[in-house]
Copies of this chain bind each other. A is one copy, B any other.
Amino acid sequence: MKHFVELQTFLCVAELGSFSAAARRLGLARSTVSMHVQTLEAALGMALFNRSTRHVSLTADGERYAERAAVLVSGLDDLSAEFSRRAGRVAGHLHVQMTESIANTLVLPRMAEFLRDYPDLALRISLSERAPDLAAEGIDVALRLSAAKDSAYRYRRFGQVSFVMAASPAYLARFGTPKHPNDLLRHRMIDFFDADAGKPIDYVLVKGREKITVAADGDLAVDNARAGLSCALAGVGIYEDFDFLLRPHLAEGKLLRVLPDWLRPGPAVVALYPGGRQSSAPVRAFLKFLDGVLGPALQNRGV
């Protein structure tokens, strides 16, 4: 399909029944309009207009050609107009991915607000711990903790989580409340070990410029946050995890915070999204929503 410009000119002439009028509407010189039509006629190998110097009328061929071409061209016009119009709207499909813990504690509880604001948006939420290949899986936004920086994606940092320690009131009543990190050595710690590393993770506690490392002895260790939490709630010992995970239980009084002045800085909450020049409106809207949700929930927002 060469000669598309010529085709448009032809259709304009056909509609207006005049080369001059078409030239005016299209903002072209009459000579250009004349040339366009001639080029198209030469390409098709048939006359499209009967020109009698003063009056122009479509050939039988030209009439049929114009009729069918007009449908297709206006179809293209409509298509582009439709997509341009929709470009700014928050509608269509949005596929987001995040870890289960983030979803359950930070995002899903307030997701209703987002859905209410954008009723035309079909939302799909994938929960998975592993880092996704956004392009391959068709994911628009992935929310993760401290994602490895990947230049193929753009990312937005919402703030940093912290590790906090807590234990059940019953445990503390029985074994006492630690006043200083060193006291932890005398407590039953619910350690966490990474399935890959195999070795329990030591405790690092920070207070201002002070930084104390307490070795995890591994007497009791879990590789799953839910398991650790259950133990802590059951009064087995002192458990450290992300603040946002423990917060509900702290609020309900089922757990009490231990060493509240000390904390370990955790990873940042980061949203990854495709790195094109322009993000889609749904993506922009979702990132804005996350700002509103995660901003208050996370300490140490930044950069």
Contacts and interface: CB of A to CB of B under 8 A. Distances in A.
Given A1-B77, A75-B72, A83-B44, A61 B92 contact: yes
A86 B41 CA distance: 13
Interface string A249-282: 0000000000000000000000000111111100
A280 to B, nearest CB: 6
Q: How many copies does the complex hold?
A: 2
Nearest to A139: B50
Contacts of A31: none
A298 B8 CA distance: 48
A135 B50 contact: yes
A99 interface: no
A108 interface: no
Given A42-B278, A52-B152, 4 more contacts: A44-B87, A47-B278, A50-B276, A57-B135
**Would you list the 8 A-B pairs with minimal beta carbon distance, nearest first?**
A45-B87, A47-B276, A50-B135, A4-B4, A46-B87, A52-B152, A72-B75, A52-B135
